[in-house]
Amino acid sequence: MLLWGENSASYNNDTAEITAESEYMSEWRRDGPLGVLLGIVNYIKTPQQYALFADFQRLAHRELPADAPPDKRKILEPVKPVITRWNSFYSHYIKRIRDEDTYAESRRNKLPYALHWMRSDGLTTHDWAVVTEYMDALKPLKAATKRLEGRGNSGRFSCIAEVILVFEYILNYYESRVLAYKAVEYNAHDEAPEDHLAINMRAAWAKASEYYSKLDLSPAYYAATILYPYYRLYCDKS
């Protein structure tokens, strides 16, 4: 829900504006920083594209200071896109498509097929800031997954007594993020932040609340929490 989910209730708009807001969010998910980044990730499939991506990383590494730690010089796979530099890689394809478009237009031919991001200006510094903000917003979900996964690092991890506490951690986090955006006036001036983050935060909070309410369907979660010595007073206190 945080990245790609649809939840019109999270738009916080008047009824007359819901359709326009929905269209805006659909366009943003396709053409915004996250959509472009995902498009690039999905595009890298062939050995030649992987090799090209690695070559551009080596070029980027030349710009690092001589005392940069070794982990900064690793050749990374596209599964970890925001850790390395993408600009040279996708700029290569953007320039190629622009050259092909120019040639086609000069001949009055039909433009060649290209993915949307190849005809864009790439990811700007602002776009990378947006990606980083979404990474921060996803961290609680990653922590929750690690906390509840089947092979935990301690005796408490992955047991049923952890479920309520983990859900409340997630709910409290997204509630605080939602409240932080509540006072923002998005239409006040041209430099006001875009409201996609607030919309997606509300959608994530609503989805987490929906799943949290399902815990009431079984007494097992509360019983496990109360009977676990480490948490025996948790329910009373909360």
Burial status of residue 100 (CB atoms within 10 A of its CB: 0-12, 13-18, 19 or more): middle
Query: 12 in a domain, yes or no?
Result: no
Asked, for residue 213, whether it belongs to a domain, the answer is yes
Overall domain count for the chain = 2
Same domain, 221 and 167: yes
Q: Are 195 and 186 in contact (CB under 8 A)?
A: yes
Model pTM above 0.75: no
Full domain range(s) for residue 154: 125-238
- Domain contains 58: yes
Average pLDDT of span 100-109: 89
Whether 2 is in a domain gets the answer: no
62 with 149, same domain: the answer is: no
**Domain final residue, candidates 93, 123, 153:** 123
Do the domain assignments include residue 3?
no
- Neighbour tally for 177: CB within 10 Å: 19
Provide, rounded to the nearest whole percent, the portion of the chain with pLDDT above 70. 79
**What is the reported pLDDT for 37?**
82
DSSP 193-211: PPTHHHHHHHHHHHHHHHH
Q: Are residues 56 and 71 in the same domain?
A: yes
Q: How many CB atoms lie within 10 A of CB 44?
A: 17
Would residue 1 count as lying in a domain? no
Domain finish residue from 123, 153, 179: 123
Least confident segment among 66-70, 175-179, 210-214: 66-70
Task: Please report the pLDDT score of residue 84 as a whole number.
Answer: 41
Confidence of residue 212 (pLDDT cuts 50, 70, 90): very high
